Amino acid sequence: MTTTVDPFAREHLPPLALWPELIFDLPELQYPAELNCVAELLDAHAARGDGDRVAIIDGERSLTYAELLSLTNQMANVLVSKLGIAPGNRVLLRGFNSAIFAATWLAVVKIGAIAVATMPLLRARDLLPVVEKAKVRFALCDHRLTDELAAVTTEHPALDSVLRFGGGGPLDLEVLAAAQPTTFDTFRTAADDTCLIAFTSGTTGQPKGTMHFHRDVLAICDLFPRSTLRATRDDRFIGSPPLAFTFGLGALLLFPLRLGATAILVEKPSPDVLLRAMAEHRATICSTSPTAYRAMAGLAKGFDLTALRKCVSAGEALPAGTRAAWKQATGIELIDGIGATELLHIFLSHTEEEARPGATGKPIPGYQCVILDDEGRELGPGLVGRLAVKGPTGCRYLDDDRQALYVENGWNLTGDAYLRDDDGYFHYQARTDDMIISAGYNIAGPEIESALLTHEAVAECGVVGLPDEERGQIVAAFVVLRPGYAPDASTTRLLQDHVKQTIAPYKYPRRIIFKEAFPRTESGKLQRFKLRESL
């Protein structure tokens, strides 16, 4: 039974009939009815005598578990006594990957409130629908990001309590927290109380708010990191996804805290900065996007990465060429994975030993995956259909009619087109709305992207279907060239011929559009709808 004061989240969950089927058939998923995930992620380590272990490294600063707990408790005291935040209230969080931002997230959840983290570079027009949808009154914001938030408060006056952090001013959160007690009684929440609302990254337009419970947070920590990643308390986690992105929240904060390991947080992790931090802090596990691995592969030889032992790729499809380039540069086989904001983290992946080029992998323990046709019938091996998933986490949109589109007969429909081979490996084809049907052929854009990326002229590429009277659609490739190549007809023919020689010739891009840069979400995902709109 929930004890939250503000019932907003529970009242705005979708009807139970529209929920996916949830499966808790593993021993590690048997959680008590009363559960606050921060008590397990943070308080438990000090209680076990592990308070002296390093929890977070942030540049030159490091915090032990005992120090992080004290800071989190001090912040929690400020949020309750100074701001009056009550259990169930939504709190907007804006900040870069840092120890102080991590502590604000932990403090919000510890007091029974709901964290609504947002990407640092979102503008006021992006933040406004989030604030309005989640009915946010409170915000904690990095002092460098307050301008856009100020514009939101003008449009949404109900957001009337904004507290800065990181600037060291007399009214900043960390200064107020320093005067507070280092103890705080963690609020006793129910396992199925909402603790975070994560908004989708907007690859297809208007983002949706996904609601996740305290037990969901622990479930993602107790599955992929243990069964597939096989991480330990001695690992040092690093990567580039923002903590506001559920990939980053899990990989760079929740997973290490659950294990009693160390999180290395890098504020602005460009490829060279991330590599430098890996070498300096002896990182052992890296999580980032295929785009970042491709960029880092060419720079890796200049850094000491001998401590690095595992690398996770997620956020978008992993091209076989990127996998090969990273392995050649570092000797490490990438662990590919697909997750979704709606399911909180990775549900389909593989170990290094089970890696197959071009295959994402198999369902991780705790999840089930099938391929469905348009009528909801399960398809056999070799047939392309809709990826459907069940497990301990699943889609619960905040007051959104699109819930009925994402959940069908208990299955979460991720929007990805996949096929399963005879050995049970799942192979990504495209987003279901990105499959290209040209002259009767079904063509998967990522296959063409993988072919283009094997040419030395191509730095980045994105493939979409464009309307065509004769063929229905044609394959169009947007390409960012490497230095030394001209965006002209000669290069176009060069790349078209390369694709014809690499994969089935009918799949070649009949149109190539050269770009200087690509539209991406802040989590790094390519926004193909913006590519289409640019023509």
Q: How many CB atoms lie within 10 A of CB 196?
A: 26
Determine the Cα–Cα distance for residues 496 and 505; give it in Å rounded to an integer: 9
Q: Residue 440 — very low, low, confident or very high, per pLDDT cuts 50/70/90?
A: low
Beta-sheet pairing, 90-94 with 138-142: parallel
- pLDDT of amino acid 444: 78
Question: Rounded mean pLDDT of the chain?
Answer: 93
User: Stretch 17-32: mean pLDDT, rounded?
Assistant: 97
**Per-residue tokens: 21:** 């089927």
Burial of 164 (0-12, 13-18, 19+ CB in 10 A): buried
Q: Which amino acid is at 438?
A: S
Give percent of the chain above pLDDT 70: 97
Determine the Cα–Cα distance for residues 53 and 38; give it in Å rounded to an integer: 17
Given a contact cutoff of 8 angstroms between Cβ atoms, the answer to whether 284 and 236 are in contact is yes
| Per-residue pLDDT at 104 exceeds 50 | yes
Determine the Cα–Cα distance for residues 130 and 123; give it in Å rounded to an integer: 11
Q: Residue 321 — very low, low, confident or very high, per pLDDT cuts 50/70/90?
A: confident
pLDDT digits (tens, 9 = 90+) for 396-415: 999 999 999 999 999 999 98
pLDDT digits (tens, 9 = 90+) for 276-318: 999 999 999 999 988 899 899 999 999 999 999 999 999 888 8
Q: Residue 388 — very low, low, confident or very high, per pLDDT cuts 50/70/90?
A: very high
**Per-residue tokens: 498:** 């390369």
| Residue, of 388 and 151, whose pLDDT is higher | 388
| Residue, of 293 and 437, whose pLDDT is higher | 293
Widest pairwise Cα distance in the chain = 72
Q: Residue 203 — very low, low, confident or very high, per pLDDT cuts 50/70/90?
A: very low
Q: Which of 339, 333, 338 is nearest to 356 (CA)?
A: 333
Residue 385 is given by DSSP the state E
| Residue, of 275 and 289, whose pLDDT is higher | 275
Q: Residue 202 — very low, low, confident or very high, per pLDDT cuts 50/70/90?
A: low
Determine the Cα–Cα distance for residues 144 and 120; give it in Å rounded to an integer: 9
Backbone torsion region of residue 522, taken as left when φ is above 0, otherwise alpha when ψ lies between -120 and 50, otherwise beta: alpha
CA 343 to chain centre: 10
| Per-residue pLDDT at 532 exceeds 90 | no
User: Stretch 350-367: mean pLDDT, rounded?
Assistant: 94
| Per-residue pLDDT at 330 exceeds 60 | yes
Residues with Cβ < 8 Å from 289, sequence gap 6 or more?
A: 240, 241, 313, 314, 315, 316, 523, 524, 525
Beta-sheet pairing, 310-313 with 335-339: parallel
pLDDT digits (tens, 9 = 90+) for 494-522: 999 999 988 878 889 999 999 999 888 76
3-state secondary structure of 320: helix
Q: Residue 204 — very low, low, confident or very high, per pLDDT cuts 50/70/90?
A: very low
Beta-sheet pairing, 385-390 with 368-372: antiparallel
Q: Which amino acid is at 410?
A: G
Determine the Cα–Cα distance for residues 442 and 461; give it in Å rounded to an integer: 20
| Residue, of 121 and 181, whose pLDDT is higher | 181
How would you label 26-39 residue by residue, b for 16+ Cβ within 10 Å and e otherwise? eebbebeeebbbbb
Given a contact cutoff of 8 angstroms between Cβ atoms, the answer to whether 165 and 174 are in contact is yes
User: Stretch 86-105: mean pLDDT, rounded?
Assistant: 97
Alpha-carbon distance values, 24 to 82, 214, 255, 386, 416 (Å): 39, 14, 19, 24, 24
| Per-residue pLDDT at 207 exceeds 80 | no
DSSP character string of 292-312: HHHHHHTTGGGS--TT--EEE
- pLDDT of amino acid 470: 72
Determine the Cα–Cα distance for residues 392 and 224; give it in Å rounded to an integer: 12
| Per-residue pLDDT at 259 exceeds 70 | yes
